[in-house]
Amino acid sequence: DVDRVFDETMADWKAFFERWGAPLSLEEQRGLLGELLVLERLIGAGDVSRVRDWMGPDGKLHDFESDSWHIEVKTSIRNDPTAMIHPIEQLDLHELPFNLVLVKLVNGEGMSLPSKISEFRSNGEINKSTPDREHFERMLEKIGYRDEDSKHYSREYSPEAEMTRHDVNSSETLLQTRRIAAEVQFDTIRWRLRSSQHDFIDCSDGFWADPSVY
């Protein structure tokens, strides 16, 4: 589809020049938007205190870390969603239930990074809870999002994002340190995960309500 590829390429270049001098790259914007979409689902199926489980921007190994479950989020716009995994330990086995969630964004209209952040800020439940509100703003600050840069983040996507998950602890296909022979020497590893090569399933309402049982 030459026309579609051309339009997407032109949109990428347009976004590149629009964000000149902005702190977040297009990939970082998508990553943040994906994490916010997951947070939105978790809050919608649980309660507002789950805001404080969002820990990725604070340098934690996983994007969401609660006392009973962990979730790592990767975001892609490819038809076959792909994700860059780093560090190598990121998808190692964990003592708690641990899922990798892939968010597939589709270029379109109706949802941008600033608009999604605005929705969170206008959430009455978050605003009533000072710890949750302050944590949300602190995570935005940690990741480098500033309101004055919002004009650089004009890329829009369809509000309907596909979300699938993979149970990390029971996976037989992920690259994990336990599968690397002891005699293999390395400093760091980055690897690309392609959704079609692993068993991803749709994120059910039950999963969002209680990730600790999945």
In degrees rounded to 5, what are phi and psi of residue 77? Answer: -110, 5
pLDDT for the residue numbered 8: 79
Cβ(37)–Cβ(116) below 8 Å: yes
* 0.85 surpassed by pTM: yes
pLDDT for the residue numbered 15: 66
> How is residue 8 annotated by DSSP?
H
Cα 145 to Cα 88: distance, rounded to the nearest angstrom: 26
Helix (H) or strand (E) holding 107: strand 107-112
pLDDT for the residue numbered 17: 63
pLDDT for the residue numbered 18: 59
Cα 34 to Cα 31: distance, rounded to the nearest angstrom: 5
pLDDT digits (tens, 9 = 90+) for 152-182: 899 999 999 999 999 999 999 999 999 999 9
User: For residues 8 and 141, which has the higher predicted lDDT (pLDDT)?
Assistant: 141
